[in-house]
Amino acid sequence: MSTREPRPSPESSALISAHGLRKSYGRTEALRGASLELREGEILAVAGASGSGKSTLLHCLSGIVRPDEGVVTYGGEQLGLLPEGRLGELRRSDFGVVFQFGQLIPELTALDNVAMPLLLAGMRRGPAQQQAGEWLERFGVRGQAELRPGEMSGGQSQRVTLARALVTGPRVVFADEPTGALDTLAGEQVMTALVHTARESATAVLLITHDAQVAAYADREVVMSDGVLRSGSDDVVGQEAARREG
């Protein structure tokens, strides 16, 4: 089903790395020197209170926004040096984005929405719809294929959004509070689907959330506060384990 084989992930290869990101919106300083690394195939949770700059971080890392200062590197290339057209291309082919609210085109059916990235890549309508249908099947929303976003439940439309983000086989998925508007069970379905597919195809995931139970789906966590990132201290846990044994 996926057009890519799972990529091998060497131990410390950083797929995306960011150093010293600074970004201000008007007088609000959203990022104050944030740095992080996302490895191949890794699921990273970025936790923190609302207003701590998590969404801005995601926008900078995915090339949606250019930071005022700092460097974002993807696969060796600096995003800041790429022209707008190439950035858009990256977002179509290499990145997938899932936000909290509807990014689906309200007038298109679920099937057409999921097929859209493929159409943009030049695929013909028929094969695009077929592939889209398979992805909808994977997320258990095949029955909603002919419905419009307004006619589905929140959980269903988020799963369609997920299918749309993953249909081109991206290397990184950026998810900004994907379950924010959903109840516990619907959220669980979405997260399980996301993590399962990501692991299958070795897709890296950057997951923004303020919910610890959602963050628990990730491999590791970093905490954002006031525009700066603090690691979740995996090293402290290791030290503690060593001390208990010693």
Residues that bind another protein (CB under 8 A): 25, 49, 55, 59, 62, 64-65, 85, 88-93, 95, 97, 99-103, 105-108, 112, 116-117, 119-120, 124-125, 164-165, 177, 180, 192, 195-196, 211-213, 215-219, 221, 223, 230, 232-234, 236-237, 240, 243
3-class DSSP state of 84 = helix
Q: How far is the CB of 223 from another protein (least distance, A)?
A: 8
Q: How far is the CB of 216 from another protein (least distance, A)?
A: 4
Q: How far is the CB of 115 from another protein (least distance, A)?
A: 9
3-class DSSP state of 90 = helix
Torsion of the alpha carbons at 127, 186, 195 and 103, rounded to the nearest 10:
50
> Distance between CA 56 and CA 23 in Å, rounded?
8
Phi, psi of 183 (to 5 degrees): -80, 170
Q: How far is the CB of 56 from another protein (least distance, A)?
A: 8
Q: How far is the CB of 168 from another protein (least distance, A)?
A: 9
Reference 228, options 57, 37, 42, 7; nearest CA is: 57
Q: How many helices (H) and strands (E) does the chain have?
A: 8, 10
Question: Please, are residues 195 and 209 in contact by the beta-carbon 8 Å criterion?
Answer: no
Torsion of the alpha carbons at 108, 109, 114 and 115, rounded to the nearest 10:
-70
